[in-house]
Structure 1
Amino acid sequence: MNVFHFKKGTEICNYNYSSNILSIRLNRQRLVVCLEEAIYIHNIKDMKLLKTLLDTPRNASGLCALSINHSNSFLAYPGSSSAGEIVVYDANMLKTECSIPAHDSPLAAIAFSPPGTKLASASEKGTVIRVFSIPEGQRLYEFRRGMKRYVSINSLVFSTDCQFLCVSSNTETVHVFRLEVPLERLEETSSWSGYMGKMFTAASNYLPAQVSDMMNQDRAFATVRLPFSGHKNTCTLVTIQKLPRLLVASSSGHLYIYNVDPQDGGECVLIQKHSLLDCRKSDKDGDGSAESSAPTSYAATVARPSNVPSSSAVTGYSEDGGALRGELLPEHEFAVGPLQLDDEREFPPISLCRRGQRSERDAVP
């Protein structure tokens, strides 16, 4: 493992391990190195090895998650190779917090919310997404991603405000779930909704466990239909120019930007599509569409226009007017503009390299 200083372009340190490094996670307090049968926890300030977890189950994919909130630095990793058990470990205090029986099948994805107070998980079946409180491990939410087929979960991520959870897989559909008030808290209220929540829970107690579980599972609040399937991808929910956006990066080298209606949800609209490859000739992605030759700088790549739906045929919402179902948005409402992904004040510096080459600014742990 090599650790580099981004701005100076110099190597800070390097470490050797007994077997292949499968994943690395870090925040401002801890750096975690995950091997197939061991996890190493380093102090980020001096890279001193603080703890080695040698009793971990076999973890062939290097699945683990570390809270980006360094004040708690919770670490999550599989507690079993045959079932969906999650071990939550306090990497600051170096002690185990809890063990969560999250799924019957082995884990496929786990992710912390930005404050580190919630943990989302999915199994290899990929049909159910669950969210737990941290460090207690109490189940808060349960979402149904699908029923007809098992899928491979590619990405599982919370929005920065913790109001939404985004899930992508090897299919063409990306699901966005809204984290509303848990049913337990709803039942405690004296409102009509609280009364109905109690009635619903009482009725579900007389149904078979599998049926009542499905009745308690929430459906997706918003969805995205990608122009491809079968490609590995990763997604994130961000705010760009005060508007919520869903970003999907595919292994084909393309970045897709969709708008998300935070009030009504529904089908998300493609706003922009960017090529992240420095190609001198036409390149085709999973949907078979050709991209023109990419510019040499990353900033120019992000700022360049793309094939987006005509503003005269797309509906959505405005920045200050809320949801405007059925109303047309002017062109400037959809224009994300040049995304300053190379702004060192907000993002690590990024430069575009030709295949087989590296630059000092590309170095990461």
Structure 2
Amino acid sequence: MGIYSYSNNILAVKLNLSLVVVTLEESIHVHNIRTMKELYTVKNMARNPHGLVTLSSSDASFLIYPTSSTSGQVDVFDAVNLRVVQSITAHDSPLAAISLNSNGDLLATASNKGTVIRVFSLPSGDRLFEFCRGITRCAKIHSLAFSLDSSYLCSSSNTQTVHIFKLPSVNVRKQYASEENAASNGYTAWMDYFSRAAAHYLPSQMSKILQRESSFATARLPIRSSFSAIALTKLKV
């Protein structure tokens, strides 16, 4: 295959069954995994000093990367047809972490403030969920990861804490979209309906906080480190 060199330091390498993606600070190089032929180069990018990039393992081959060094905007690049299919303004602040699920249809993002984690649908870019990471005012999110079945999302940070969030199923998402159904499904659904209805009458900032979900499980890392990476797996018992 030969040896390839680049104009600057390599910050990240991602691959799936058909592609190899090499990330530099201001460019991304997309290669065919079998021949290493360069298929496309994303040039003139905003500075990406941490090499933030994620590539889906599915046939869709979505490539996600930040497009601003001052805000949390990302492009959704179709690495098969070599074109940008969506731009998403995920956060007001620059991004700290991004992650795709195994199907390539959910994107998780966190900004450098580290308090809110958002999940978007791809390729539409619709915001589906918003999670509150914890009570710490600011934290540096190190990594995000989905479970294989996209039922869970976890995060690690410089606070030595791992947070695990539960993602509602597709059916539950549809149920949330219908206030009438929510109001007719018993006490829990009624309280959910009431909180979302009350949010309409609160100041916008308080309304957003009310609608954020918290983690349902946490774990504390025994040792503080400069970086922590996480993954979720399912054990057969």
TM-score with structure 2 setting the length? 0.91
1:270-319: CA deviation from partner (whole Å, max 9, x where unpaired): xxxxxxxxxxxxxxxxxxxxxxxxxxxxxxxxxxxxxxxxxxxxxxxxxx
Q: How do 1:176-325 residues align onto structure 2 when only pairs under 5 Å count?
A: 176-181=164-169, 185-188=175-178, 190=181, 191-192=184-185, 196-242=191-237
Specify the alignment match of 1:85 in structure 2: 73
Letter in 2 for 1:60: P
Gaps of 5+ in 2: none
1:203-260: CA deviation from partner (whole Å, max 9, x where unpaired): 2111111111111110111110221224422111112233xxxxxxxxxxxxxxxxxx
Indicate if the aligned counterparts of 2:106 and 2:122 stay in contact, CA closer than 8 A. yes
Indicate if the aligned counterparts of 1:187 and 1:197 stay in contact, CA closer than 8 A. no
Indicate if the aligned counterparts of 2:77 and 2:84 stay in contact, CA closer than 8 A. yes
Deviation at 1:147, TM superposition (A): 3.3
> Does 2:165 align with 1:165?
no
Letter in 1 for 2:176: L
Indicate if the aligned counterparts of 1:120 and 1:131 stay in contact, CA closer than 8 A. yes
Letter in 2 for 1:239: K
Deviation at 1:185, TM superposition (A): 3.9
Structure 1 consecutive aligned stretches of length 4 or more whose deviation exceeds 6 Å: none
Q: Distance in 2 between matches of 1:239 and 1:76?
A: 26
Specify the alignment match of 1:55 in structure 2: 44
Secondary structure at 1:201 match in 2:
helix
> Does 2:11 align with 1:22?
yes
Q: Distance in 2 between matches of 1:176 and 1:25?
A: 24
CA 1:112–1:187: 2 relative to 1, 3 Å: same
Specify the alignment match of 2:87 in structure 1: 99
Secondary structure at 1:186 match in 2:
helix
Specify the alignment match of 1:134 in structure 2: 122
1:132-186: CA deviation from partner (whole Å, max 9, x where unpaired): 0010000011100023331111221000111000101111211000001466642
Indicate if the aligned counterparts of 1:187 and 1:195 stay in contact, CA closer than 8 A. no
1:176-203: CA deviation from partner (whole Å, max 9, x where unpaired): 0000146664232624266554443332
Larger radius of gyration: 1
Q: Distance in 1 between matches of 2:224 and 2:129?
A: 27
Gaps of 5+ in 1: 1-11, 243-365
Q: Distance in 1 between matches of 2:160 and 2:7?
A: 39
Percent identity over the alignment is 46
Letter in 1 for 2:199: S
Specify the alignment match of 2:55 in structure 1: 66
Higher relative contact order, chain-length normalized (CA < 8 Å, sep 6+): 2
Indicate if the aligned counterparts of 2:195 and 2:210 stay in contact, CA closer than 8 A. no
Letter in 2 for 1:127: T
Indicate if the aligned counterparts of 1:57 and 1:79 stay in contact, CA closer than 8 A. yes
Secondary structure at 2:229 match in 1:
strand
> Does 2:110 align with 1:122?
yes
Indicate if the aligned counterparts of 1:157 and 1:235 stay in contact, CA closer than 8 A. yes
Indicate if the aligned counterparts of 2:10 and 2:24 stay in contact, CA closer than 8 A. yes
> Does 2:38 align with 1:43?
no
Letter in 1 for 2:177: E
Specify the alignment match of 1:31 in structure 2: 20
Deviation at 1:48, TM superposition (A): 1.0
1:97-135: CA deviation from partner (whole Å, max 9, x where unpaired): 111111111000000000101000000011100000010
TM-score with structure 1 setting the length? 0.60
Letter in 1 for 2:27: A
Deviation at 1:18, TM superposition (A): 1.0
